[in-house]
Structure formats: structure tokens, C-alpha cells
Structure 1
Amino acid sequence: MKTLDIDAVHAFVLTAELNSFTRAAEAMDSTQSAVSLKIGKLEKSLGRRLLERTPRQVRLSFDGELFLPAAKALLAAHAGALEAFGRTQRRLVIGVSHHIVGPELPALLRRVSEGRPGLTLEIRVAPSREILELFDRNDMDAAIVLRHDSRRLDGEIIHEESFGWMAAPDFHHQPGEPLKLATQAAPCSVRSMAIDVLDAAGLPWNEVFVGGGVGTIGAAVSAGLATAALGRRVAPADTIDVGPRFALPALPTRAVVLHAHVTDEGARGALRALGAAIRASEKAYRLP
């Protein structure tokens, strides 16, 4: 009777969900070549090709689509078997900047939670400044925030977040007139970044909407009231980057940094999975 390598099945599921051997390797604390080798052996054992590999993407084959639900069920059963003599409960409190997570948050949480039945996730979404204050008071185990300056250089950089001047496709701006902005109230660092860039370029601006979070800013932008400096992953799906159209100055990228107090492997594995999922969920650049 054939037996399946659990690690290989895990590698296949992660690669399928993250659409990347690289991201799967990050989540497993392994290497891309090792993950590829595991999946190759799994495919040989099954006598089926599970993934279609091209230079630019990885996608499920027909047989891979059939195998994926069974593979997930096998991983869940394996995790349950390991917990047969008592489940070790672990609460992991993670703070995440609201400029980093958007509509993909449910998918991120699912990927982190899968195969970890003893893990209770507590996610707090707030401005980076507030998240870091809570982390430094030991009120949370980990923080994922934007780095806006060189005053704090600790933590692990997991991603470079890109920003655009996001607006509704029919947003109108007359050159020479103040640019209509939707922002968060000061001292939001993304607000400061946007204003500094406009001031440096000598472009006039006017705040026409001040929101209480990225969600409210996104609503104002979708309604056509203004443009906003937003990360493309959190911008509403019906918005585009109007920077090129109106010759607006480019916005800088910001490092996404992970700060963590955790030492146990279960929590570290969950954080690796979350970091890999954030990288894999970056939206493609959207032109007007």
C-alpha cells in the first residue's frame, strides 16, 4: 500500500494556496528547491502531475484540483491524531497595521490556522504607531507594521509595500487646482508621507475627507470624492492608481516589518505562514 509523506502533502497545499514555491518555502522555514523536491516525489508516488509550472506562475493541474481537498483533509486528520492525548492550547495575539491588511484578511487567517487546531488567533488591526505601543507593553505577541523612518530598525523586514494615488476611475482633477485628498487624521504616517511628497513637488492639495480608518477612506475614494495614498492591497477593488494620469509624484515604498516576542515553534510557524501569505497576496499594479 502506498503511503504519503505528510511534509510533502503540506508543501503541496501551501504551494497551491500561495501560488508560489518560494512563499511555501518561507512558510515551512525551508528552501524553494527542497519544497520542489518534496512535491516532485509526491507526484511520482501518486503517478499524477499536481502542479503546472511556468517561469511566471504555479497553478494546479486538473489532478491537483482533485487532490487538494483530500490533501487538506489528510493534514487536518494528521493534526488531530497528534492531539489525541490532549490538545495544547496557545493564544497568539498579533497586531497588524490597517495599511497592510485588506479584503484578503479572511484568506490570510485561514492559511495561518489550517493544521494548527490548538492555536487561538487574536488579531488586532490598528495604526502602526498604536500597534507598536501595545507590542512594547507586551500586550501582544507580535506586530506587523509599516516602517516609515530610521528611528527604529529592529524587527524582520518581510515585504516592501507599494503605494499609489488611488481613486475612482471617473475621478476628475484639473491641473493647477488643489488635489482633493482623503486622509486619516494626524499623526497618521501615511498621511504625512503623501503630504510631504506633494509639498516637495510644489503641488497644492486640499483635504476634503478625513476618515477614521482605511475602510472609511476607501469608501470616500470609491465614491469619487477624492484620491488617497493607499497600499494597493488595501485599496478598494473598484479603484485605480491615477498618479500617471495626473502626473502626480511617485509615492515611496515602505518596509513591512515583523516584531515578535515568541519563541515556541508553533507560534513561530504561524508567523512564518502569515508573512508568506502577506507577500503572496500583494495585488498586481493597476493602471488607470
Structure 2
Amino acid sequence: MAIMATLDVDAVQAFVLVADFQSFTRAAEALDTSQAAISVKLKRLEDRLGEKLIERTPRLVRLSARGAAFLGVAREFVAAHERAVAGLTSAPRRFTLGIADQVAGPELPVLLSRLHSYDPALLIEVQIEASRNLLDAFDRGVLDAAIVRREDDRRDGEVLAQERFGWFASSGFEHREGEALRLASLAASCGVRNIATRALDAAGVSWIEVFVGGGTAAVIAAVSAGLAVAALAYRVAPVGIVEVGERLGLPPLPSSEIVLHSTLSDARSRGALRTLVAAFREHRAPSS
């Protein structure tokens, strides 16, 4: 008689996180454990299944063919386990999370979707705003956690990553010599806008704002349409616009830190937040 493999939910969750992040380091951070522990869990899962799920080299982590086939089932397995655990808890859990507009990248919807699949019982309220506004809300107790760009007057918070900024425009954007640089930017309260305009002033580059406000998505739309140049984090710059600082002779922009502020105390909510935070730990390299 064939013996059925019994799966360990912790090992399956470790596999899903390694697959999602393509990194043992980030999976370990999400689970608040070590890379060695993740390797042990994954080895145990592979032994149970009798299949190699992850191909790992010094520079690359990727799914094997069997791992790719198993990933969807693994997600369902983890989600079913979380729903079962949630059914034993009478009180729903929730937390409010703020993410700065210049920090939330295009991968955010996917990350939130995966986070929900890991913990369907947790209701997360997400607010996208300027860093300063989110910090004010966090200090008032309106937010349980905030992932923001560090403001000059704040030294607290947990540093997650260094964020690089550049000057972005559409590939066909033209700037005529002698004319003021056309800018698209967020509101005057945006720290990135202030850094960018100070850098232009210090370099003696004249500028004019032709598109202001509406959030990062609106600024990117203006840039993509060829209306202006914008100072953007590489994390949020989408495919289709290019870095034009060197071509236009614009001053370099300083990097800043992505910082986490949190008052979450219960283990389940903190674990869910770690899963999301791990995505910000390693800054995506700029594309050429």
C-alpha cells in the first residue's frame, strides 16, 4: 500500500516565500528566522515529496519544473491552513498600514494579494500618502504601521533599504537648450519634490512645474505622455520611461532610507507585516 506524504505547513510556507522572493534571505526575514532554518525546512519538504523544488546557485534562486507545478497547490495548502486557524479565533484581527507614495512600487498589489493568501483572517487597511502625512498619522495613532521615506527630522524607525532616485522621462522627451526644464511633481509637501528642486537650484538649472499633484501614478502618467521630467525612485519607475539625468545634464539626486515604523504587538500581525516588509529589504537595481 502506498504511503501518503504528510506535509508540514511551515515548510510549505517557507517554499512559497522563497519562490515569491527568489531569495532565501528575504524569505528568512519574512518568517523572522535564519537562512539555515529555511534551507532545513525546504530540504525536509523536498525529502517528503521526493522532488527537487528549488534550484539554487551562488547568484540565482529559481523553481525547478516540479517546483513551478507545485507552487499553486502550495499556496492553496497554506491558505487552507490559515483559514482553519482563523476559524478557531472569535475576534477578527486588523491593522492599518501606511505606505509612502514614492515607496509603493508596481509590485504592491501582488504583494498584498499574497499576504492575504498567507493570512486570510487578517484585515489590512492600506493608505497611500506622502511620507510626512503618514508619519503624522502614525504619531496620532491612526496607523499601526508605516513604511515611509525617512524625513530629515526623524531618526527613529527600522531601516529597510536604501532608495535611489533619478530623473525620468519618456524616451522621446525633448528639452531645448535655454528653456526651463519642464517638471512633473507631487504637492509642495512632498520631500522628494523638495530635494529635486533644491538640487536644480543649486546646479543653476531653471525649471517650471507643468504638472503638480495627483499621486505618483498621475505623475508617471504625465511623464509617460512626454509632458515633463520627474524625480522618481527607481522602485516606482515603470517600464517605458527612462533615466535622463546624464543626457540632460541634471544634478544627481541623493538616496534616502526606506523606514518602518510600527506599534504592532500581536505575533500574527507582526508576522504578516514581516512578510510584506521583506519585499523592501533589497532594493531593485536600476535598469539601464
TM normalised by structure 2 equals 0.93
- Distance in 1 (alpha carbons) for counterparts of 2:175 and 2:107: 30
CA shift in 2, pair 1:195/1:84, >3 Å: closer
In structure 2, distance between residues paired with 1:58 and 1:247: 38
Aligned equivalents of 2:205, 2:55: Cα separation in 1:
48
Q: Gaps (5+ residues) in structure 1?
A: none
Cross-structure match for 2:195: 193
Quick one: structure 1 residues 197 and 6, their matched pair in 2 at CA, closer, same or farther if it must change by over 3 Å? same
Unaligned ranges ≥5, structure 2:
none
Deviations 1:197-220 (CA, angstroms, capped at 9, x unpaired): 122222222222212211111111
2:245 match: secondary structure: coil
The size of the alignment, in residue pairs, is 285
Aligned-partner SS, 2:38? helix
Q: 2:182 touches 2:228 (CA, 8 Å); kept in 1?
A: yes
| Aligned partner of 1:26 among 26, 29, 33 | 29
Residue 276 of structure 1: aligned partner: 278
Residue 232 of structure 1 corresponds to which residue in structure 2? 234
Whole-Å Cα distance in 2 between the matches of residues 50 and 239 of structure 1?
36
Report SS of the residue matched to 1:244: helix
| Contact 1:87 1:118 (C-alpha < 8 Å) held by counterparts | no
Return the letter of the residue paired with 2:257.
A
Question: 1:10, CA displacement in angstroms?
Answer: 0.8
Structure 1 Cα separation of the partners of residues 199 and 60 of structure 2: 35
Contact 2:131 2:151 in 1 (8 A): no
In the other structure, the counterpart of 2:136 is 133
Give, in angstroms, the shift of residue 176 of structure 1: 4.5
8 Å CA contact 1:111, 1:273 repeated in 2: no
Q: For residue 126 of structure 2, what is the aligned residue in structure 1?
A: 123
Specify the alignment match of 1:39 in structure 2: 42
Q: Which residue of 2 aligns with 1:161?
A: 163
Asked whether 1:241 is paired with 2:243, we answer yes
Deviation of the 1:135 alpha carbon: 0.9
Cα RMSD, aligned residues only: 1.6
Report the counterpart of residue 267 of structure 1 in structure 2.
Answer: 269
Equivalent position of 1:102 in the other structure? 105
Residue type at the aligned position of 1:109 = L
Deviates more, 1:76-85 or 1:25-34: 76-85
User: In the alignment, which residue of structure 2 is the partner of 1:74?
Assistant: 77
Q: Which amino acid aligns with 1:170?
A: G
Are 1:285 and 2:286 counterparts?
yes
Q: Which amino acid aligns with 1:119?
A: L
Q: Report Cα offsets for 1:95-127 as digits up to 9, x if no partner.
A: 111111132221120122222122001001111
The answer on 1:218 being equivalent to 2:241 is: no
- Residues 108, 278 of structure 1: 8 Å contact kept: no
Offset at residue 236 of structure 1 (A)? 3.2
| Secondary structure of 2:248's aligned partner | coil
How has the CA–CA distance of structure 1 residues 174 and 33 changed in structure 2, closer, same or farther, with 3 Å as cutoff?
farther
Q: CA deviation at 1:181?
A: 1.1
Q: Are 1:8 and 2:11 matched, yes or no?
A: yes
Residues in 1 aligned to 2:23 and 2:90: alpha-carbon distance in whole angstroms: 31
- Deviating more after overlay: 102-111 vs 58-67: 102-111
Paired amino acid for 2:176? Q
Structure-1-length-normalised TM-score:
0.93
Which SS does the other structure have where 2:74 is aligned? helix
Q: 69-78 vs 176-185, which deviates more?
A: 176-185
Partner of 1:53: 56
